[in-house]
Amino acid sequence: MTRPVDDTGAYRGDDPETNHYTRELPNDDPRSVGIVTAIADVAGCDPLALPELLYDVVDVDALDSIFPPDTVSPDGRPSLSFRFCGYAVTVYPEEVVILEPTSASNC
């Protein structure tokens, strides 16, 4: 999961002052895998060290069928929002937006 970085090394679209982060979702993995990887990246830990499992929070099969790989966002940008590992998460067809921690989000 890569995203262009600016000259400070921060991901473009990230705003640490407001704890707002954006990660592109890879086109070759299910969206659920990309979401877990994105949360771990923002939290600064290994995906296997996250304190909860995504499938305990959302139906990952339904999530992956709503946003299959290579989905291009139509007008109106459909989205799905939920809380995971202490973060408010919003998934769009091609990216995941991770908002400020809603609680302690330790790995």
Average pLDDT of the segment spanning 18-23: 80
39 sits in which H/E element: helix 31-43
- Assess if residue 76 is contained within a domain: yes
- Assess if residue 90 is contained within a domain: yes
Give just the sign of the alpha carbon dihedral 47, 48, 49, 50.
Answer: positive
Contact (CB, 8 A) for 78 and 91: no
Range of the domain at 71: 21-101
Measured distance CA(78)–CA(75) in Å, rounded: 8
Measured distance CA(88)–CA(81) in Å, rounded: 7
- Assess if residue 57 is contained within a domain: yes
Average pLDDT of the segment spanning 8-32: 74
pLDDT digit string, tens, across residues 60-78: 999 888 877 766 655 566 7
- Assess if residue 5 is contained within a domain: no
Which pTM was predicted?
Answer: 0.75
Measured distance CA(71)–CA(11) in Å, rounded: 22
